[in-house]
Amino acid sequence: MYVEGAVRWGAWIALLLWGSVATGASLASSSPWPCPHRCDCQQEALQVNCSTRHLSAVPEGISRDSHRLDLSRNRLKTLARRQFAGLPRLRELDLSDNILSVVEVEAFQGLQNLHTLRLRGNRLKIIPVGVFSGLAGLRLLDLAENEILVFLDYTFRDLTSLQRLEAGENDLVFISHRAFTGLAGLQELNLNRCNLTSMPTEALSQLQGLTRLRFRRLSLGTLPNNSFRRLSRLRELTIAQSPWLDTLAPNSLFGLNLTSLSITGCNLTAVPYAPIHHLVYLRYLDLSHNPITTVRAHLLGDLLRLQELHLVGAGLLRIEPGAFRGLAHFRLLNVSSNLLATLEETAFHSVGNLETLRLDRNPLACDCRLLWVVRRRLRLDFDGRPPTCSHPVKAQGREFRGFSESELPGLFTCRPARILNRKPQEVRVEEGHTVLFFCKADGDPTPAISWLTPHLSLVSPTGRIRVLPNGTLEVRYAQVQDSGTYLCVASNAAGNQSFSVGLHVRGFSSSSSSGRNRSAPFFPEGWVLPSGYPQSIANSNSSAQGPSPFPFDAKTLVIAVTMGFLSFLSSVVICFIFMFFWSQSKGQIKHTATIDFVPRSSAGTSGHRGDRVDTGRFTMKLI
């Protein structure tokens, strides 16, 4: 009896001693560590693990001293009011992956030491105001992967210490204006896969301590002006996988002072230069997986501190020279998986600062423009994926790292632009003719051809005087003031060459059009060429083809009848006779010969009402 008692006492003392050694003095006075049936308890960690035990209710008999309670992956359906009132020391509570659909108001009352609460992966549809009351010490709340549609006003008002709120994967469609009231300490908010159709600007403006904000799957087409008012502490903004988002309003990011911005997997067709230009502290910019084809010159220069740009899988065709001009700290460019044929050294402020370059999976032409990369191939960090050549054939498929110094002179070379067929082109025409000047050039890489007017301005690809896609200069309806010397410039990375042509346009002085204002276009008001006939009527290149496709449509007939059909016909006949002789005598100007069928302009002839052809208001214009 005595012995038995001594043994029992000894065991008791040993247990006490062991407990205090293992968990520190705070436990010295505690009662024995009870452990609920079916759970794993680790007394030294003050941890009760009831994960994956098919529990349908919170088990009884959990020690008051527990710091961590894991009830994840069970079948808990509801949490009653003051459900955890007996566990005042609890710091972490994990209720993830249950089937919770009802959490009563004040369910967590009494857990004033709780700092982490996980409710991820349940079936919560609504969170009544007051559910989180009593959780004044909570720092992390995870509500992701539920079915919450709205956040109501004051839902989180008691969580004054909350630092991080995970609310992603919820089909959230609306966030009430005062939903985030009280979350003054919140630093990080994740709203991944929300179905928000408008930016919860008003609600977010309550979160003045926020430093990181993440959205995914916004159902938004445009990010409106001032979307992030009063978030002056925000440093990282991520918007991902929002395929409808194609526009950032010019002031959408106004008021922010970001160091990191990611807008990926959206539908932006251009780098949002204007919305981001004020972000002078930005260091990290990721615009990957947007259909952006060009990084334009000199438009990122305000981002003084930018260090990294990621533009992966964007269909990028060109990074213009000067694109990163002004970015003195730029050290990482990730343009893997695009359609770039080259990347010129002149794109950078200083390639000496560049440390990491991902240029792999681009159809690169290995000519002199990429020589700077191959020269730095041992110093640059290619992140394990060195670029490879797609062109020329002899270097196809070869990695930049693999070239030896001795083969470089034969590879990575360019041939300067050279204009072919420099036969002098001097063209003299009557006004109204269409004139083409050819300019073809070769070189490696293929030269770009541009034309300068006699006033040395660049000819654009549209307009009356334009450059055709094949480099030909086209002057339509030549006018006297178009006369002069035009310059064709062919240029590529290795050099440029130019070539001049002359155009002399004589004023047209036949009786039928002597009075026309020569600088005005030929088409008089009210007359439109039938759109089906532009080639055959307006530009037919031989007189014999002229008459056959006449536009005797209703409009022409009505006009003809009202104006006197006879005089119309006689005008036509006179014109054709005239045309016949003209073509006999002037047939040599083949490539410019065009027939233009236009009536006389009432505006253009206003001063010449007395003309003898006045009755036939049509003149056949031969060009």
Ligand X SMILES: *[C@@H]1O[C@H](CO)[C@@H](O)[C@H](O)[C@H]1NC(C)=O
The residues of the shown chain that bind ligand X, judged by CB under 6 A, are 49, 51-52, 68, 70, 171, 173, 195, 217, 224-225, 232, 235, 243-244, 246, 249-251, 257, 259, 267, 269, 281, 288, 310, 312, 334, 336, 356, 358, 383, 438, 440, 468, 470, 472, 489, 491, 496, 517, 519-520, 535, 539-542
- Provide the minimum distance between the beta carbon of 557 and ligand X in the complex, in angstroms, as a whole number: 25
Q: For 55-103, where are the alpha helices, taking DSSP H only?
A: none
Q: Shortest Cβ distance from residue 158 to ligand X (Å)?
A: 26
Do 337 and 363 touch, CB atoms closer than 8 A? no
353 vs 349: CA distance, rounded Å = 9
- Closer CB to ligand X, 223 or 411, in the complex: 223
With respect to ligand X, which residue has the nearer C-beta, 244 or 372?
244
Which residue, 51 or 390, is less far from ligand X as judged by CB?
A: 51
Q: How far apart are CA 467 and CA 137, in angstroms?
A: 70
Q: 474 is written with which tokens?
A: 């086209």
Residue among 10 and 463 whose Cβ is closer to ligand X:
463
Least distance from ligand X to the Cβ atom of residue 94, Å: 7
Closest CB 233 distance from ligand X, rounded Å:
8
Kindly report the three-state secondary structure assignment for every residue of 133-170. Answer: CCCCCCCEEECCCCCCCEECCCCCCCCCCCCEEECCCC
Q: Quick one: which H or E segment has residue 117?
A: strand 116-118
Q: 51 or 592: whose CB is closer to ligand X?
A: 51
Closest CA to 486 of 464, 461, 462, 459: 459
Q: Please report how close the Cβ of residue 14 comes to ligand X at its closest, in angstroms.
A: 27
Q: Is 160:132 a contact under the CB 8 Å cutoff?
A: no
Cβ proximity to ligand X, 252 vs 571, nearer residue: 252
Are the C-beta atoms of residues 349 and 323 closer than 8 Å to each other?
no
Q: What is each CA distance from 374 to 308, 332, 446, in whole angstroms?
A: 21, 17, 21
Backbone φ and ψ for 342, nearest 5 degrees, come out as: -160, 170
- Closer residue to ligand X, CB minimum distance, 61 or 243: 243
Q: Shortest Cβ distance from residue 609 to ligand X (Å)?
A: 15
Q: C-alpha angle with apex 422: 420 to 424, nearest 5 degrees? A: 155
- Cα–Cα distances (Å) from 579 to 566, 619, 621, in that order, read 19, 12, 9
Question: What gap in Å lies between CA 56 and CA 600, rounded to an integer?
Answer: 93
Q: How far is the CB of 95 from ligand X (least distance, A)?
A: 12
Q: Of the two residues 395 and 493, which places its CB atom closer to ligand X in the complex?
A: 493
Closer to ligand X by Cβ: residue 133 or 539? 539
Q: How far is the CB of 590 from ligand X (least distance, A)?
A: 7
What minimum distance in Å lies between the beta carbon of 185 and ligand X? 19
- Cβ distance to ligand X smaller for residue 203 or 268: 268
Nearer to ligand X, 58 or 395 (CB): 58
CB of 156 to ligand X, least distance (A): 21
Q: Considering beta carbons, is residue 292 or 560 the nearer one to ligand X?
A: 292
- Which contiguous run of DSSP H or E holds residue 390? strand 389-391
Question: What does 494-556 look like in DSSP terms, one character per residue?
Answer: TEEEEEEEEEEEEPP--GGGTTS-TTS-SPPTT----TT-IIIIIS-SSGGGSSTT----HHH
Q: What are 296-300's contacts with CB under 8 Å, separation 24+?
A: 296/270, 296/271, 296/320, 296/323, 297/321, 297/322, 297/323, 297/325, 298/322, 298/323, 298/325, 298/326, 299/271, 299/273, 299/323, 300/271, 300/273, 300/324, 300/325, 300/326, 300/327
**Smallest gap from residue 501 Cβ to ligand X (A):** 13
Q: Which is nearer to ligand X, 204 or 411 (CB)?
A: 204
Phi and psi at 123, nearest 5°, equal -120, 35
* Structure token digits, residue 50: 């009831």
What CA–CA distance (Å, rounded) separates 202 from 204?
6
Comparison of 133 and 205: residue with beta carbon closer to ligand X: 205
- For the bound state, the minimum distance from the C-beta of residue 464 to ligand X, rounded and expressed in Å, comes to 13
Q: At its nearest, how many Å lie between ligand X and the CB of residue 617?
A: 19
Q: What's the closest the beta carbon of residue 9 comes to ligand X, in angstroms?
A: 34
Strands 484-492 and 495-506: antiparallel
Instruction: Return the C-alpha torsion angle 596, 602, 604, 608, nearest 10.
Output: 110
* 465 to 471, 483, 539, 593: CA distances (angstroms): 13, 12, 16, 17
Going by C-alpha positions, the residue among 95, 107, 171 that lies closest to residue 133 is 107
